[in-house]
Amino acid sequence: MKTKKNIQKSKFLSLILRHKPEEINITLDQNGWADLDELIQKSKKKGIQLDRDEIQKIVKENNKNRFSISEDGKRIRANQGHSIPVDVQLKEQIPVGPLYHGTANRFVESIMAQGIKSQNRLHVHLSDSLEVAEMVGKRHGKVVILQLNTAQMIEDGVVFYRSENGVWLTNFVDKKYIQIH
């Protein structure tokens, strides 16, 4: 069961593993992995109490599957969403249907003029589910769902990746591929 404390700790892990490892003076390797024992120790110095069981529970219960623990159980990383340069070893994949991007109404004019940019992240995040796109867009205001002409993007050589947690990723979506759903 998710507790308020676990949600806060999950957000803390997202901050450290996706954006600011320097907050606790931890170093991620080139693939985004952090040593679990070091993460626990350095988090404690920052006033955040974590243990292996608690981290396992956060990883298992995170409904967005944001994190992975290495097969040997010694390292942890975020699956995607990084704003720092790491290579989470994404493999190219070809989506079989349309992809969607949920956004707030206030961003639509800019997107329709300039395309979808990764902003402060390494990739643009897309979904093959209308429901997920809507959920993502709602976080930012009145939601608008954008549907991408995925088939044309593939034909034009746009490269797609799919993260371990099912998020579709690409570097940029040109405005010519976007329509309001």
Same domain, 118 and 171: yes
pTM of the predicted model over 0.95: no
CATH number of the domain residue 34 falls in: 1.10.10.970
Identify the domain boundary among 47, 78, 109. Answer: 78
Q: Which domain holds residue 61?
A: 4-78
What is 113-177 written as a DSSP string? Answer: HH-B--TTSSSEEEBS-HHHHHHHHHTTSSEEEEEE-HHHHHHTT---EE-TTS-EEES-B-GGG
Same domain, 155 and 105: yes
Same domain, 162 and 104: yes
pLDDT digits (tens, 9 = 90+) for 42-100: 999 989 999 999 999 999 887 778 899 999 999 999 988 888 989 888 889 999 999 99
Q: Is residue 88 part of a domain?
A: no
Report the domain count for the chain: 2
